[in-house]
């Protein structure tokens, strides 16, 4: 997708075993269209060589403030002025301390100090032992660098090179890439709370069988990520799917339509946008057997009675919170034919301002889709693209339709 096309990133490496992750991070940044200039501390060179990072980045690696390759002998000025962002990954406890103190005795910290702070953000991906991470001095230094304008991307939890387990691991390259993309995304949903449903529901027949559908949840998860990147506080109510939760999205796992309704209704009262992408089963068995229903050899099939599931979207859209204009509701319609006619009728029936239609058999489980946006003024197509791209386009459409946030007094 080249989500970082046109961006020039200074990738700084300080000393730590997590330098091995910087190699993959560099490749992923390039894959997304960024150019990468690597700057390494002397300590970082003990863990990975400049030759490796030069081969991966396609640019000479800098490590000394006295590097004579720069005509003016000022790499700390030139490199910082060219950057759209400076990302320190890994950022050791020692380097955090250097930044907090304003040290400038080697190129990377000097570059950070010399960067134009109003237009070149500094992002830090800490990496250290769990005790070092939790130490009051480290936390005090982190608070100071945040106060000075840096963005701390957080740490992971898990096994560490020293053999211990806990907080302090550097985030994985894919997570750092997601954070960087989010950082550059316009915050068109800042100050909004967005509630998203995704995936299928599973209506139990007995302990091992049930009624469900082919929804993969990919569209809903992509929308949740795009909304978070656009600055929203996002809650994702997801049916039974095996997808990773987007960073900083609060996920609530459910199985049945009734469980989804129970999770959605109270949270919808606190939201400003509700996006119902879940493929909720229309019916459920009237009673679920407590034991597996067995064949008895008679050839007779069991008789199942069904009851209609509640219409989650219609109930939320008819709530007072939505009717007074405090909740913008977006519905989804997965159809097999006559998409425009069915989507138009469904929008009117559900009473929502925006209905998003797609052909279910053509999108379930796929990584791409095509969407039809239907509102009171007509319809518009979003041509087939990745669900990631369509999610970004849909979030932009929703943001454009929202009323302005009230001005604080």
102 and 201 in a single domain? The answer is no
Query: DSSP characters for 283-338?
Result: EEESS--SSPPPP-SS-PPPP--EEEPP-HHHHHHTSHHHHTTS-EEEEEEEESS-
The predicted structure's pLDDT at residue 291? 92
Higher pLDDT, 409 or 343: 343
Cα–Cα distance measured from residue 196 to residue 276, given in angstroms and rounded to the nearest whole number:
6
DSSP 2: -
| CA quadruple 246, 131, 163, 167: dihedral, nearest 10 | -10
Each residue's pLDDT tens digit, 286-300: 999 999 998 888 888
What is the tally of structural domains in the chain? 2
Q: Rounded distance, CA 393 to CA 1, Å? A: 13
Residue 408 lies inside a defined structural domain of this protein: no
- Domain end (from 184, 208, 236): 184
**Residue 345, domain extent:** 193-401
Q: Are residues 320 and 392 in the same domain?
A: yes
Q: Which of 30-44, 296-310, 350-364 has the lowest mean pLDDT?
A: 350-364
Tell me the per-residue pLDDT of 59-117, one tens digit each, with 9 for 90 and over: 999 999 998 888 888 999 999 999 999 999 999 999 999 999 999 999 999 999 999 99
Give domain status of residue 2, yes or no: no
Confidence of residue 365 (pLDDT cuts 50, 70, 90): confident
- DSSP of 5-18, one letter per residue? TT-EEEEEE-SSTT
User: Band of the pLDDT at 362, cuts 50, 70, 90?
Assistant: low
pLDDT of residue 89: 98
Distance CA 83, CA 122 (A): 10
* 116 and 246 assigned to the same domain: no
CATH of the domain at 387: 3.40.50.10300
Q: Is 3 domain-assigned?
A: no
> Which pLDDT does position 296 carry in this prediction?
82
Asked if 175 and 298 sit in the same domain, the reply is: no
Q: In this predicted structure, what is the pLDDT of residue 280? A: 95
Q: Are residues 166 and 267 in the same domain?
A: no
Please, are residues 45 and 14 in contact by the beta-carbon 8 Å criterion? no
Q: Residue 322 — φ and ψ, nearest 5°?
A: -80, -40
Confidence category of residue 374, pLDDT binned at 50, 70, 90: very high
The candidate with the shortest Cα–Cα distance to 276, out of 214, 210, 341, 353, is 353
Confidence of residue 400 (pLDDT cuts 50, 70, 90): very high
pLDDT at 260 over 90: yes
Per-residue pLDDT at 38: 98
**272 in the same domain as 123:** no
Give the per-residue pLDDT at 249: 98
Rg of the chain over all Cα atoms, to the nearest angstrom: 26
pLDDT at 359 > cutoff 90? no
Does the pLDDT at position 45 exceed 90? yes
69, 70, 72, 76: CA torsion to nearest 10 = -130
Report the Cα 244 to chain-centroid distance in Å. Answer: 10
CA pair distance 344, 314, nearest whole angstrom? 15
Look-up of token digits 């992971």: 156
Domain boundary pick from 130, 153, 184: 184
Among 167, 184, 201, give the residue marking a domain's end. Answer: 184
CA distance 327 to 193: 10
19-31 vs 173-184: helix crossing angle, rounded to 10: 50
Confidence of residue 311 (pLDDT cuts 50, 70, 90): very high
Question: In 3D, which of 212, 213, 196 has the Cα closest to residue 252?
Answer: 196
For residue 123, give the H/E element and its range: strand 122-126
> What value, to the nearest 5°, has the Cα angle with vertex 280 and ends 239 and 243?
25
Confidence (pLDDT) at 409:
62
Is the N-terminal amide bond of 90 cis, ω within 30° of 0? Answer: yes
160 and 240 fall within a common domain: no
Helix (H) or strand (E) holding 211: strand 210-211
Question: Quick check: is 349 in a domain?
Answer: yes
Tokens of 22: 């910087």
The reply to whether 117 falls in a domain is yes
Three-state DSSP state, 216: coil
CA distance 120 to 252: 37
pLDDT tens by residue, 161-218: 999 999 999 999 999 999 999 999 999 999 999 999 999 999 999 999 999 999 999 9
Two tokens, residue 287: 């009673």
Residues 203 and 166 in one domain: no
**Of 19, 26, 112, 162, which is the active-site residue?**
162
Q: Is the pLDDT of residue 240 over 80?
A: yes
pLDDT value of position 407:
75
* Residue scoring higher pLDDT (335 or 395): 395
Active site includes 162?
Answer: yes
The SS3 call for residue 389 is: helix
pLDDT tops 80 at residue 354? yes
Mean pLDDT, the chain, integer = 94
As a whole number, mean pLDDT of residues 324-340 equals 89
> What value does the mean pLDDT take over residues 220-249?
97
Residue 21, helix vs strand vs coil: helix
Q: Residue 330's pLDDT is what?
A: 97
261 vs 34: CA distance, rounded Å: 43
Please give the Cα distance from 291 to 189 (Å, whole number): 47
Domain membership flag for residue 277: yes
Q: How far apart are CA 58 and CA 52, in angstroms?
A: 10
Q: What residues have CB less than 8 Å from 128, skipping those under 6 apart?
A: 16, 92, 93, 138, 168
């Amino acid at each position: 997708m080249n989500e970082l096309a046109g961006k020039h990133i200074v990738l700084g490496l300080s000393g730590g075993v997590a330098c091995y992750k910087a190699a993959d991070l560099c490749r992923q940044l390039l894959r997304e269209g960024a150019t990468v200039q690597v700057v390494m501390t002397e300590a970082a060179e003990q863990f990975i060589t400049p030759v490796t990072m030069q081969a991966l980045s396609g640019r000479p690696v800098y490590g000394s403030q006295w590097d004579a390759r720069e005509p003016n002998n000022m790499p700390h000025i030139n490199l910082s002025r060219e950057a759209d962002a400076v990302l320190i990954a890994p950022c050791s406890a020692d380097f955090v301390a250097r930044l907090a103190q304003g040290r400038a005795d080697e190129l990377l910290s000097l570059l950070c100090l010399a960067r134009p702070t109003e237009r070149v953000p500094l992002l830090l991906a800490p990496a250290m032992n769990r005790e070092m991470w939790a130490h009051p001095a480290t936390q005090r230094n982190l608070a100071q660098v945040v106060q000075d304008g840096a963005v701390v991307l957080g740490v992971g939890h898990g096994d560490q090179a020293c053999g211990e387990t806990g907080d302090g691991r550097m985030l994985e390259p894919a997570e750092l890439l997601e954070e960087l993309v989010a950082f550059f995304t316009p915050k068109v949903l800042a100050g909004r709370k967005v509630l998203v449903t995704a995936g299928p529901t599973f209506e139990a027949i007995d302990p091992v069988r049930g009624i469900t559908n082919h929804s993969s949840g990919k569209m809903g998860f992509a929308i949740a990520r795009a909304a978070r990147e656009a600055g929203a506080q996002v809650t994702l109510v997801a049916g039974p799917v095996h997808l990773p939760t987007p960073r900083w999205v609060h996920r609530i796992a459910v199985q049945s339509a009734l469980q989804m309704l129970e999770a959605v209704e109270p949270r919808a009262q606190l939201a400003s946008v509700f996006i119902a992408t879940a493929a909720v089963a229309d019916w459920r068995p009237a009673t679920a057997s407590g034991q597996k229903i067995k064949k008895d050899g008679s050839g007779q099939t069991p008789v199942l009675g069904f009851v209609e599931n509640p219409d989650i979207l219609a109930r939320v859209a008819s709530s007072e919170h939505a009717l007074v204009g405090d909740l913008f509701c977006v519905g989804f319609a997965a159809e097999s034919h006559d998409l425009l006619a069915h989507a138009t009728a469904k929008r009117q029936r559900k009473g929502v301002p925006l209905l998003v239609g797609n052909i279910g058999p053509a999108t379930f489980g796929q990584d791409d889709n095509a969407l039809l946006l239907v509102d009171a003024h007509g319809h518009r197509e979003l041509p087939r693209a990745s669900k990631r791209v369509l999610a970004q386009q849909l979030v932009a459409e929703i943001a454009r339709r929202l009323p302005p946030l009230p001005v604080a007094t």
